[in-house]
Structure 1
Amino acid sequence: MLEDLADVKLFIIQARHDGVPPSTAVTSSSMVAYDYARGKYDILDGRAMHGDQSGMSADTAAKRTADLDAALRQRDLRLGFLVHDVSRMRRSAFDRLMRPLGVTRAQWWVIAHLSRQDGMMQIQLADILDVGKASLGAVIDRLEAAGLVERRPDPVDGRAKRVFMTRKSHRLLAKMQDLERAFNARILKHLGEADRDTLIRLLSLIRTELVDMQDDDTSA
């Protein structure tokens, strides 16, 4: 409901200013509303640059500015909910995809990270996955019992354990990757190559800010 209200708010603001009948505006593409908002505000630069307000009374101009500010705040709230929902729904869908292979989310998450950096220390893997050492230990115990990973002593610190993939887990990973390629083709089918590159760039910017926030919290 929040998303619908935000869209309607933007459309009505556009209609009032441009003289478009509200019924026409509401049935238009949401991109029209966003393009309109971007045209009145320099959003990318982070500054609210007001559009042409000539011929308006002070009260009308103030009301228009307040409406635009409220609409843009609603848009940012919508974006936050959308990022959260897409992440949650993608994880759930991928879990269902992996279920026939007999691996849980925690298990395929471990295998996926080991495929990027095999032989990580168990404590390092726990930090990356943001789970407790005991919880990760139980997951690795099950993976090891299934022959999917093996623990080896660290050559420098014999008390530390490193976790390695096995031939069996490499075969499992190949199946996972085949399923993931088909999965990504399905969920990204409406995005062109340029859209995907842009999405990666924008999400990477957000991720960088979140990492910086974590670093700030750690150093505080």
Structure 2
Amino acid sequence: MTDSPAKHSVLRPSDSRQSDPARFDVANRVFFRLYQCANLMHKVGARFIGDFNSTTQQWAVLGALARPEPREHGMTVKDLIAFLLVSRQNITPVLDRLEARGWIERIKDAEDGRSRRIVLTTAGDLAWSEMQIAIDAFYREALEGLDLDEQVVLYRLLDRLKARLNTL
């Protein structure tokens, strides 16, 4: 047995491996701000698509399915979970509601009859097209004050953070 802690053990304030207080404070503010932004994105984003009686989770699923490759072939639930970074428990009720609205359909996978693929229906494609006007307005208003270069920098920084988090 070694004296080294588990990979994800909780560090105590007295632990000598903790970063310096200034770095911790900045990191704490960054992650708290991301948490706040995520919550606000859902809250405010839902208002923008309120006319569609839809949620931001449904918006995310429709957007994922509307990309060129999934639009043509659909996505497995497993692929959708991996793309959206959600759990099966979170995605299943969203898919059930979208299917009940006639916006998606679960079809047999041509290559694996035991598996199902999620595809946009014609009604789902139409709803997505109409939603994009409200989504565009949300994006424009949310990002107002950030020029295009700043938006690209933000995107790249968030992408790097996401990639790093994916390795933990």
TM > 0.5 fold call: yes
2:43 aligned residue:
92
Distance 1:72 1:137, change over 3 A: closer
2:165 aligned residue:
210
Q: Deviations over 1:27-72 (max 9, x none)?
A: xxxxxxxxxxxxxxxxxxxxxxxxxxxxxxxxxxxxxxxxxx5334
Q: Does 1:164 align with 2:127?
A: no
Q: CA deviation at 1:180?
A: 1.4
2:144 aligned residue:
189
Q: Deviations over 1:158-179 (max 9, x none)?
A: 1211111012111111122111
Q: Say which of 72, 80, 100 aligns to 1:125.
A: 80
Letter in 2 for 1:113: A
CA distance in 1, matches of 2:100, 2:133: 25
2:10 aligned residue:
none
Q: Say which of 72, 88, 108 aligns to 1:153.
A: 108
Q: Does 1:102 align with 2:58?
A: no
Q: Deviations over 1:144-192 (max 9, x none)?
A: 2322111211112112111110121111111221111111111111111
Distance 1:158 1:72, change over 3 A: closer
Which of the pair is proportionally richer in helix? Answer: 1
Letter in 2 for 1:191: L
Distance 1:204 1:138, change over 3 A: closer
| 1:164 partner SS | strand
| 1:150 partner SS | strand
Letter in 1 for 2:167: D
Q: CA deviation at 1:109?
A: 2.4
Distance 1:185 1:138, change over 3 A: closer
Letter in 2 for 1:189: E
Q: Which runs of 5+ in 2 are unaligned?
A: 1-19
Q: Does 1:73 align with 2:24?
A: yes
Q: CA deviation at 1:132?
A: 2.1
| 2:149 partner SS | helix
CA RMSD between the two structures: 2.0
CA contact (8 A) 2:49 2:135 kept: no
| 2:117 partner SS | strand
Q: Does 1:82 align with 2:48?
A: no
CA distance in 2, matches of 1:126, 1:208: 16
Q: CA deviation at 1:127?
A: 4.1
Letter in 1 for 2:127: L
Q: How many residues are aligned here?
A: 144
